[in-house]
């Protein structure tokens, strides 16, 4: 079964030829390729990748990552909008609002990417408004935590046509900060907000987040290595709202096969009729408004 990866930040040093073979071996049909501006304002990396290998990449705008996004959020949101329009990107990248240091950064001793930009800040409004006007989706990284849910819901209610992909379903790094989020809450959001989507990236079931020493992948049943039934049921009931994601970045490309395996374990947990929707059809429909 082919899969479309809706969310990866791939570096400019990627060996596209070698990687094409790895994608083919793993049955990854397309990757939404998001570039990394790295202080230059914008990268154009996705456009170069698509120019070099148009069959394997969907161009996504640069992600909202430090330093560009952090230094000047409204400026980066403005550049995003201009580039998305002028260069015809079908989607925007992942913008970090609340973001704890990622595991691979902690391993490298980099604790600085502990980001907080309120989602209802001016830059957040710019992104929601542009998405609402254009119909182009954008991705958010927002750690799951009680205190941030009202801000997000406020924005979803204010911009009901904005297409938002909340990345990393059920990735909860600090359980004690959460009393609300779970399959029932996500179901409520889906029913209430018609343009809210989720990407399904998660680390493996036994992954421990080094910052909290907890298992962040809350949708996993760690004994079976499959989805817990309540999460599988939620996805099966609303399959067009969930998309496969690998969340690659240049530091973890050696984990490509393992990450594909994790997403295939998610798909294998779902009823057969919805697997293809979650694997690639939902992504295609969101981006191109076409059922394949
Ligand atoms: Zn993320």
Pairing mode of beta strands 91-99, 115-116: antiparallel
Interval 252-263 mean pLDDT: 94
Neighbours of ion ligand 1 (CB under 5 A): 141, 167
Q: Is the pLDDT of residue 291 over 90?
A: yes
Domain 3-288 sits in CATH at: 3.20.20.140
Q: How far apart are the CA of 173 and the centre of ligand 1, in A?
A: 12
Q: How far apart are the CA of 95 and the centre of ligand 1, in A?
A: 8
Pairing mode of beta strands 226-227, 220-221: antiparallel
Output 252 or 19, whichever has higher pLDDT.
19
Interval 242-268 mean pLDDT: 95
Q: How far is CA 122 from CA 79, 125, 159, 211, in A?
A: 14, 5, 14, 30
Pure H helices in 108-182: 122-134, 149-158
Q: Is the pLDDT of residue 114 over 70?
A: yes
Output 56 or 113, whichever has higher pLDDT.
56
Q: How far apart are the CA of 9 and the centre of ligand 1, in A?
A: 10
Q: How far apart are the CA of 272 and the centre of ligand 1, in A?
A: 28
How far apart CA 131 and CA 224 sit, in angstroms, is: 39
Q: How far apart are the CA of 247 and the centre of ligand 1, in A?
A: 7
Interval 13-30 mean pLDDT: 95
Q: Is the pLDDT of residue 253 over 90?
A: no
Q: How far apart are the CA of 244 and the centre of ligand 1, in A?
A: 13
How far apart CA 53 and CA 113 sit, in angstroms, is: 32
Q: Is the pLDDT of residue 110 over 70?
A: yes
Q: How far apart are the CA of 209 and the centre of ligand 1, in A?
A: 14
Q: Is the pLDDT of residue 250 over 90?
A: no
Q: How far apart are the CA of 6 and the centre of ligand 1, in A?
A: 12
Q: Is the pLDDT of residue 220 over 70?
A: yes
Q: How far apart are the CA of 26 and the centre of ligand 1, in A?
A: 22
Q: Is the pLDDT of residue 113 over 80?
A: no
Q: Is the pLDDT of residue 234 over 80?
A: yes
Give the angle 254-24-276 at the CA atoms, nearest 5°.
105
Mean pLDDT, the chain, rounded, equals 95
Q: How far apart are the CA of 166 and the centre of ligand 1, in A?
A: 9
Delimit the domains of the chain by residue range.
3-288
- Reported as a pLDDT band with limits 50, 70 and 90, residue 198 is very high
Q: How far apart are the CA of 249 and the centre of ligand 1, in A?
A: 10
Q: How far apart are the CA of 171 and the centre of ligand 1, in A?
A: 10
Q: Is the pLDDT of residue 21 over 80?
A: yes
Q: How far is CA 5 from CA 101, 229, 289, in A?
A: 22, 24, 17
Which residues, including other chains, have CB under 8 Å from residue 55's CB and lie 6 or more apart?
none
Residue 112, pLDDT score: 65
How far apart CA 146 and CA 236 sit, in angstroms, is: 26
């Amino acid at each position: 079964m082919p899969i479309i990866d809706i969310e990866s930040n791939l570096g400019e040093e990627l060996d596209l030829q070698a990687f094409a073979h790895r994608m083919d071996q793993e049955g990854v049909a397309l990757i939404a390729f998001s570039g990394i501006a790295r202080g230059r304002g914008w990268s154009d990396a996705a456009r170069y990748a698509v120019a070099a290998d148009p069959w394997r990449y969907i161009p996504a705008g640069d992600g909202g990552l430090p330093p560009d996004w952090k230094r000047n959020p409204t400026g980066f949101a403005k550049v995003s909008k201009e580039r998305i329009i002028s260069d015809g990107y079908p989607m925007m990248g992942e913008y970090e609002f609340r973001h704890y240091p990622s595991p691979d950064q902690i391993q490298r001793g980099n604790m600085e990417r502990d980001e907080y930009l309120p989602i209802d800040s001016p830059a957040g409004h710019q992104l929601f408004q542009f998405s609402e006007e254009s119909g182009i989706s954008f991705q958010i990284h927002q750690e799951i935590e009680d205190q941030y849910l009202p801000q997000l819901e406020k924005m979803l209610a204010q911009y009901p046509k904005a297409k938002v992909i909340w990345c990393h379903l059920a990735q909860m790094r600090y359980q004690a900060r959460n009393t609300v989020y779970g399959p029932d809450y996500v179901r409520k959001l889906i029913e209430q907000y018609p343009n809210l989507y989720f990407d399904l990236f998660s680390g493996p079931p036994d992954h421990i987040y080094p910052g909290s020493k907890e298992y962040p992948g809350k949708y996993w049943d760690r004994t079976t290595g499959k989805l817990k039934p309540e999460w599988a049921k939620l996805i099966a009931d609303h399959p067009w709202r969930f998309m496969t994601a690998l969340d690659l970045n240049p530091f973890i490309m050696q984990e490509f096969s393992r990450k594909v395996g994790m997403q295939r374990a998610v798909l294998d947990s779902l009823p057969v009729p919805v697997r293809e929707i979650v694997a690639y059809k939902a992504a295609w429909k969101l981006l191109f408004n076409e059922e394949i």
